[in-house]
Copies of this chain bind each other. A is one copy, B any other.
């Protein structure tokens, strides 16, 4: 019997983010969350947007980055759902809108104060994960390194993400996108 299952008091948790890109801090949150929930739905927000400075990658690319990173991290995929969700642009409706795309869930997982509030206003419990060196692991910081030509960004993401970004020539894309904005 899995000794960690004692802690798992929630049936299904939701971990929303934009994951532009998915990094090692996100991976730590996933591992941490799996100690508390039986199943985890990773919600890829702003799914409709890509090829912009803040959202360079498509939802499809982000799905595959996350999936491959979890495989690489030996995470049991049968406990994971990866669900892209386009923006709704009405914050007070957001939690209810999420419920449309995600199977029934009983806990939200986030460090973002607005997201925590929106989950709570909709009646959900919330788990706030530890910070996992947030200053170090930051998608914004990683995108800035890519733009600046600093290859150090690779050390902040799972190998799978680094590999996929190369495959889609993602660093070139983000630089071209800046030129067009």
Q: Which residues of A contact B (CB under 8 A)?
A: 47-52, 58-61, 63-64, 67, 71, 77-78, 81-84, 86, 89-93, 95-97, 99-104, 112-118, 122-123, 173, 176-177, 179-181
Contacts and interface: CB of A to CB of B under 8 A. Distances in A.
Contacts of A61: 103
A114 B63 contact: no
Q: Which of A92, A118, A181 has the most CB of B within 10 A?
A: A92
A102 B95 CA distance: 18
A44 to B, nearest CB: 9
B179 A91 contact: no
B100 A92 contact: yes
B117 A173 contact: yes
Contact of A179 (B58, B63, B113): B113
B115 A51 contact: no
A77 B39 CA distance: 15
B83 A181 contact: no
CB-based closest 9 A-B pairs: A114-B180, A96-B96, A51-B91, A113-B179, A64-B103, A113-B176, A60-B103, A112-B180, A50-B92
B93 A47 contact: no
A69 to B, nearest CB: 13
B104 A50 contact: no
A19 to B, nearest CB: 14
A47 B92 CA distance: 11
Contacts of A118: 51
